[in-house]
Chain A
Amino acid sequence: MGVLETERLTRRFGPLTAVDALSLKVEYGEVFGLLGPNGAGKTTVVKMLTTLLPPSDGSARVAGFDIVHQAEEVRRRIGYVPQMLSADGTLSGYENLLISAKLYDIPGKEREQRVRAGLAFMGLTDAADRLVRQYSGGMIRRLEIAQATLHRPPLLFLDEPTVGLDPLARRAVWEHIADLRAEFGTSILLTTHLMEEADNLCTRVAIMHLGKVVALGTPAELKDTLGREGATLDDVFVHYTGDTLDAGGNYRDAARTRRTARRLG
């Protein structure tokens, strides 16, 4: 049994089918990348799997629990870092983690030690008592990942984890994600449209286009399918999603991404 299994998972918004009969299986220990242009349906998939949005059709199981009928069990077993900045800027880093620890029923005796360990793991010990408002973008992202993994979830969702970060901060976040997997065996599902990110982190990727998976495999396999030397994941992406620069996303997506980028920058 995989850590995540979806069966013809579908979400419609009025006449639009954002996610179209998605069937996927992610094994324990994998870092699975959902790639695709803006508006391909990646975020909608994540929202359904994190129980934020009910599916219109189909089903999915996370760590063996149904996302609709056993939503609370699912919530205990996942961590989620939304595309927006979910850390509370008006609290300190320590307080943000403390609140998470309480929300996830980490027993009082272990709380302090877990929070300190989480801060240390993400390299935030020195900044623990500063208000998050004063953190840099990369620090906020690392804090959020610490918050989302405090309860050691088997599956972690990262929605565009490095959008708006400069290359240095991006690399630091990648390293921490890799460490997390090495140390705790956390399975990760991340969405991105950065091919470098997918190449760096993912054991397998699925390329989504207009709500469907159009390609699935390891980064190397996907490059091989193009049948030419030196193909990059960028080439794969363009090959499968076609020339659809104008198709993806809308005003709201763009506004949100820019807002996130501004707050991180």
Chain B
Amino acid sequence: MTLQERGAPRAAWVERLGSRDPLTTAGDFVRKTLVVVEVEMRKLRHDSTEVISRAAQPALWLLVFGQVMNQMRAIPTGGLPYIDFLAPGILAQSVLFIAIFYGIAIIWERDLGIVQKFLVSPAPRTAQVLGKGLAAGVRALAQALIIYALAALMGVDLNWNPLALLGVAAVVVCGAAVFSLFSLLVACLVKTRERFMGFGQVMTMPLFFASNAIYPVSLMPSWLQVIARLNPLTYEVDALRALMLRGGTSVYGVGMDLLVLVGIAAVLAVAGGRLYPNVVT
């Protein structure tokens, strides 16, 4: 926007937005993405019971599975107590389980007419989709708080360095964005709740087990290792393990992990922007 344009009379603001330079376009994109995120935050503020009720499953994993496996010492964790090794995996898992069913919410909002309302607005459709992905990230952050509390109670040696916490938040948001955008794409293709539910159930367990969430990749048979290396969850867990724990290390490097997650999220957002209008037809 040039100075001259900024001085244009207010009545002309609609027309002014008609011809825009790349910087204004980028600004608009970011603003519209954040509006979609804002909707989600406002919803969470009105009703946060869902976040609490969703904490039951990770609590079971940590309390029951974690404590039992902690006694066995059968899994090579690189010197960590198993419960410490497990905590980042369970955080990633609970983020995955929230995000992978996000498509259901899209179908629900489509049935209500909310998706249509956004699609007829001038907000770029890729921004709407990316906003949905980041909104899932906001929800996942609420979940992360609860898992941190559980893990701290169980004596997991957490890294409280602010930078590390910031890193965890970034990884959680990226991970949630990847899986929720994937879920959104599927929702745009299958379009009905029934078909989507079938898909969601089929997807979650393989994604979870073919990852390093509860055991290191090195323990897997080689065919499974290949799948695990292609699984975004593996990179999410890898980064979380390095950032969340005081004694944690990364196998692939945190920078690499983040790059993989951001890259996949970006590709999914662009594809989602194309497919999103399909969900209403």
Contact = CB atoms under 8 A, between A and B. Distances in A.
A185 B122 CA distance: 22
Given A52-B277, A103-B32, A80 B120 contact: yes
Nearest to A88: B114
Given A83-B113, A90-B43, A52 B121 contact: no
Q: How large is the interface on B (under 10, 10 to 19, 20 to 34, 35 or more residues)?
A: 20 to 34
Contact of A99 (B13, B35, B47): B35
A262 interface: no
Contacts of B43: 88, 90-91
B116 A84 contact: yes
Q: How large is the interface on A (under 10, 10 to 19, 20 to 34, 35 or more residues)?
A: 35 or more
Nearest to A65: B18
B122 A52 contact: no
B170 interface: no
A82 B281 CA distance: 13
A184 interface: no
B121 A86 contact: no
B112 interface: yes
Contacts of B14: 76-77, 105, 151
A129 to B, nearest CB: 11
Interface string A45-76: 00100111100000000000000000011011
Given A52-B280, A52-B281, A85-B113, A91 B120 contact: no
Contacts of A51: 119-120
Nearest to A95: B42
If over half of B's interface residues share one DSSP class (helix, strand or loop), that class is named, otherwise mixed; here it is helix
Nearest to B39: A99
Nearest to A260: B113
Contact of B35 (A47, A73, A103): A103
A86 B281 contact: no
Interface string B46-73: 1100000000000000000000000000
Nearest to A90: B43
Contacts of A85: 112-113
A78 B121 CA distance: 8
Contacts of B111: 84, 256, 259
Contacts of A50: 120
Interface in A214-265: 256, 259
B123 interface: yes
Interface of B: 10, 13-14, 17-18, 28, 31-32, 35, 38-39, 42-43, 46-47, 111-114, 116-123, 277, 280-281
